[in-house]
Structures are given as structure tokens and as C-alpha cells.
Structure 1
Amino acid sequence: MIRNAMIALAAAAGLAACATSTPYGPATGKSPYGFSDQRIEENRYRVVFRGNSSTTREAVETYLLYRAAELTVESGYDYFVVTEQDTEANKRYSTSPNPAFYGRYYYGYGPYCCAFPYYAYGWGWGSPYDDYSVREYTRYTAVAFITMHKGTKPADEPEAFDARSVMDNLRSYIVKEPAS
């Protein structure tokens, strides 16, 4: 009894781990989800954040903005300007049929009724018009090109962000992977 409960608990924990959103961290060879950045020029970078199907668009865009600010501070700059930004949605669909027929198949009428004790699991017994369960999986990828600068952020440039202010304001929204 305890063994079955432990197996059920382990299975539930495994499924819960699969259904969690992408934590903030670098994309690795083990997982393509997370942030990556590429230096284009001395103060120009391409920053990307890829989320899994449990990560919302808002979280992906927040993580991208946080990474741009973090990269700016790490590189010794004070503010960054987003020169280009896009969020892509990669949608996939999964269908699964509901069970076509399950139970005893009765034929005949009245006292001549007989039961055919066959339990079919799919082939030959279902109707092509049966219901199908369709699930949509959406994975968001946010991409931004940024330039980094020193000094005070210009007040007349709406695409400019003070890196330290961004990090301070978004820190509470960032969920990092637990240290192992």
C-alpha cells in the first residue's frame, strides 16, 4: 500500500516538473529554453529568451527585458536602447480520440437479444465523426536587438531603459531555477 502511494507520488512529481514554466536562466545544451545573447558589435547585442509551452508570453517578454538589463550592467553600461523587438509564437496541435467503443455490444430484439462480449479499444468500432480532444501548445520566443550606453538615459527616447531600474522593478517577477 505504501509502495503504491510512493509510486503515485513520484509520478505526480514527475508530471508536475514537466508542466512548470521555464525558469530564468541560460539556455543550455540540455534544454533549449532560457536566455541566450550574441554580441554583434562592441555595444550591440541580440538577446533571445525561449519559453516552453507552460511559459506565458508576458513571462517570456519580462525575462527578455530583465536579461537585456542584466547584460547591460554586466558589460559596464548604464542604460540600453531597444532598436528592434519581436515575440514569435510557435503553435502545435495534438489530437487524441476519445474511446471509440467500450462495453458490451448488444444485438437483436426482445428475448432474442444477445450480448457480444467484446471490448474494443479503437480499431473498427468507432465512428469517424466521434469527438476528438484537441490541445494547442504554444511556445513563445522573444528577440530583441539592443545597444548599450554609458551615462544618464535620455528622457526623450522612449525605447531607452535604465538598466538598474529595470532590474530593480522586475526582480520580483523573475523565477530562477533552484540551485542543485
Structure 2
Amino acid sequence: MRLLGAAGAAVLLAACATAVGTAYQPVDTKGYGYSETRIERDRYRVVFAGDGATPPEAVEDFALLRAAELALQNGYDWFRVVGRSLDYAEKGGVGVGAGFGTGSYGRRSGVSVGVGGDLGTIGARKFYTARLEVIFGEGEPPEDEEVYDALEVTQTVRARIGAAGGA
């Protein structure tokens, strides 16, 4: 009975724990925010990692925004996404399992059978990370590629951030 009470208390605590959502910012001490790595003169890897309250769409938008800012800061007009991934890790929560067993006690030998199973995790959050590899360009963008106008992406995503209250 104590074990059941402890598990219930843990579930309630996990449900009450709230993440705040990662703002658009350079990576912080907890590892949330954007970072970039220059690969070549006109090629970067951009990463945005969100906390458990940052939805995957925001994580992807923030990675695109950082790519657009880098393009503009380096004198480019557009960027092409040549590689992309969106990954997540589940953190927190309480594992729930069930089991059943039988046994024989006493002087005689016996046979025992046990059955158990994992019922999953309650209260876990998904922490999303978007990774982009981008190539910058100037002038007229190619039409057959996944190309973004850097100025337009910056304006559109910043407007959406403002409408959502910053995160």
C-alpha cells in the first residue's frame, strides 16, 4: 500500500512540474536555445534545442530564424536547407509496471512462475532538437531547391514570436 501511495505522489509531482518553454536565445547553461557551427565560408550547421514545453513547430521555426539571421549577418540573401532533422528525447515522468508471480515455500522443491510488464511512463515530456545544415547564397535563388528568403523568414518568424508572447 505504501508503494502505491508513493507512486501516486510521484505521478502528481510529475504532473505539477511545468517547463516554461525556451525563448529564442543563444544556448543557455541548461543546453536550451540556438547554436551554430561554421562548416565552410557559406555553409553552417544550426541547432535549436527546446525544453519540454517548447513545441516541435517552434523549435523548427527558431532553427530557421537563426539560419536566416546568419545569412543576413554574412551578407547573403537566401539560404538552402541541405540537411534537416527533428529529434526528441523523453525526460522525466514516472515509469509504471505490473507484475504477477507465484511460488512455493517450505521443505519441498517447487516451481514458480512470474509475469511482468512495462506499462509505460506517465508525465514524461518530449524535448525537441532541430538540426539544419544550410548553404547561403546571394542574388536570385535557385528554383528547384528548398530555398528560403532570409529577410522574409526573419520577419515572419519574429512576427509569430511576438504574437505568441516571446516563446
TM-score normalised by L of structure 1: 0.64
Matched AA of 1:69? A
Q: CA deviation at 1:88?
A: 0.2
Matches within 5 A, 1:19-58: 19-28=19-28, 30-58=29-57
**Corresponding residue of 1:151:** 139
Distance 2:63 2:144 in 1: 20
Distance 1:133 1:79 in 2: 43
What is the aligned-residue RMSD (CA, Å)?
Answer: 2.6
| Sequence identity (%) | 36
**Which runs of at least 4 in structure 1 moved beyond 3 Å after TM superposition?**
none
Matched AA of 2:22? T
Alignment length (residue pairs)? 129
**Corresponding residue of 2:151:** 164
Q: Secondary structure at the match of 1:164?
A: helix
Residues 57, 133 of structure 1: CA spacing in aligned structure 2 closer, same or farther, 3 A cutoff?
closer
**Alpha-carbon displacement from aligned partner over 1:117-137 (angstroms, at most 9, x marks no partner):** xxxxxxxxxxxxxxx981121
Tell me if the contact between 2:19 and 2:51 (Cα under 8 Å) persists in the aligned partners.
no
Tell me if the contact between 1:25 and 1:176 (Cα under 8 Å) persists in the aligned partners.
no
Which of the numbers 82, 100, 123 marks the counterpart of 1:135? 123
Q: Which runs of 5+ in 1 are unaligned?
A: 1-14, 98-131
Q: Secondary structure at the match of 1:63?
A: helix
Distance 1:73 1:91 in 2: 35
Distance 1:36 1:92 in 2: 22
Q: Which runs of 5+ in 2 are unaligned?
A: 1-15, 97-119
